[in-house]
Amino acid sequence: MSFLRKKIYACAGFNTISLGSGRKEFHPKKPRPGIEHYIKEAGLGTINQIQNPEAIDEGVIGNFVAERFCKQGNLGGFFPMIHSTFQYKPCIRVEGACDSGGLALVVSLKTILADLADVVLCVGVEVQNSVKAIYGADFLAAAGWFSGERKNGHAYFFPDQFSQRAGACFERFGKEKTRAGMAQWYVNAIENARKYPKAQEFHNKNPELYATGMMSPNAKTFCEHINVFDCSKVSDGGSSMIFASEEGLKKIGVDRKDAAEVIAYAQVQDNLTTPPKDLTRLSTCAVAAERVFERAAIKASELSVFELHDCFTIAGVLAIEAAGFADYGEGADFVKDGQTKLTGAIPVNTTGGLIGYGHPTGATGVRQAVDVVNQLVDKADGCQVKIDANRPYGMLSSMGGNDKTVVAMIFRKT
């Protein structure tokens, strides 16, 4: 029996450029687009791929913390700006830290499953280059337990959280082994981003990526166990896609071959007030993966492509283990051996992931879905990987906070 009570499809995905340091057009002292620009650009990028945009019933916008970065709330009010026929249609903004986009995907699905809509436009958006990095780090600390952890936390709160994870892995599995896997993760991210013109690291010409990834951390200026290249980017951008029922696809004139079917999802929440039980595991990501595979009735080995939340290189390594592609403690070797490259056993983060494409936090979960679906419908251009007919599935795992809020979702090529 199918996990979902009726068929739902995803189509017409669109990503904006991920704007920030590294992009040639980015200048920190020059005016840049606001959050409403990215909502409109992403939305139009999707509806320009369909017929009859008036058939879109509702909107969902994923965003983390626009109130701090942009002094802007009430983001649903920008939905009618995308297209004139959206005037007076419902739109809701959802938030779940860096998993805000992932939660927007889930809300879109639930709206269709509840028979309240046939077509939902799902948008994720964030603008973060509006303040200095040190202030942004404080804003982003709201993804954790702010009143209980922030006061005594590191100035760079979340980098330090994952620096501690890296340090724990160094101690348990060996520093040389773990560090090599993290450095190779950085190499893969930049190499993939170079194939995707919208990626923040698309212009990166560094010929010594592995050596850069292996640079020693400086605890006096940043964190003890990670360097700045282990971190995802401070990014501005948006992503969008459409979820539709079978009837909805007909209404917007999209052929099933141009859409991917949603097979299952898992939404998992851990207690924000409790520290991780084991810094060397992403336990909540593991629960989400286990549930979504069970609901989809498939195994990890049946995936042809995987998008995961590499907010830091160590998070990428641990997420590979959480999804079941490598045994506990073996994720670093799996990555170092090239198994997550575009030509590897499981191609991961084909447009660069959070480290290569960028991490406009509220958009990231939606961007992951866009990239998985584009792969399954053979529209990934220079990043396209082989979708095996015997493995017609793609998956995303989107994480918020320090492994606290997780959405995993599996799609199937039609």
Q: What is the mean pLDDT of residues 82-106?
A: 98
Q: Tens of pLDDT along 334-344?
A: 999 999 999 99
How is domain 143-232+262-413 classified at the architecture level of CATH?
3-Layer(aba) Sandwich (3.40)
What pLDDT score was predicted for residue 2?
87
Q: What is the mean pLDDT of residues 202-224?
A: 96
* Residue 171 to residues 86, 250, 278, 283, Cα–Cα distance (Å): 54, 56, 13, 19
Q: Comparing 8-132+234-259 with 143-232+262-413, is the CATH topology the same?
A: yes
Q: What is the mean pLDDT of residues 195-201?
A: 98
- Judged by DSSP in three states, 106 sits in helix
What pLDDT score was predicted for residue 151?
87
Residue 113 has pLDDT above 80, yes or no: yes
Between CA 134 and CA 259 the distance in angstroms is: 41
Question: For the chain, what's the residue count?
Answer: 414
In this structure, the number of other CB atoms found within 10 A of the CB of residue 160 comes to 19
Q: What is the share, in percent, of the chain residues with pLDDT greater than 90?
A: 98
Q: Are residues 128 and 386 in contact, defined by beta-carbon separation less than 8 angstroms?
A: no
Report residue 134's pLDDT band, with 50, 70 and 90 as the boundaries: confident
Report residue 327's pLDDT band, with 50, 70 and 90 as the boundaries: very high
Nearest to 204 by CA among 355, 387, 315, 369: 355
Between 8-12, 134-138, 206-210, the lowest mean confidence (pLDDT) is in 134-138
Q: Tens of pLDDT along 393-412?
A: 999 999 999 999 999 999 99
Structural domain spans, the chain: 8-132+234-259, 143-232+262-413
Q: Tens of pLDDT along 48-68?
A: 999 999 999 999 999 999 999
Report residue 273's pLDDT band, with 50, 70 and 90 as the boundaries: very high
Q: What is the mean pLDDT of residues 148-153?
A: 90
Residue 1 has pLDDT above 90, yes or no: no
Which amino acid is present at 296? A
How is domain 8-132+234-259 classified at the architecture level of CATH?
3-Layer(aba) Sandwich (3.40)
Residue 376 has pLDDT above 90, yes or no: yes
Q: Which residues of 210-246 are buried (b: 16+ CB within 10 A; e: fewer)?
A: eebbbeebeeeebbebbbebbbbbbbbbbbbbbbbbe
Q: What is the share, in percent, of the chain residues with pLDDT greater than 70?
A: 100
What pLDDT score was predicted for residue 133?
87
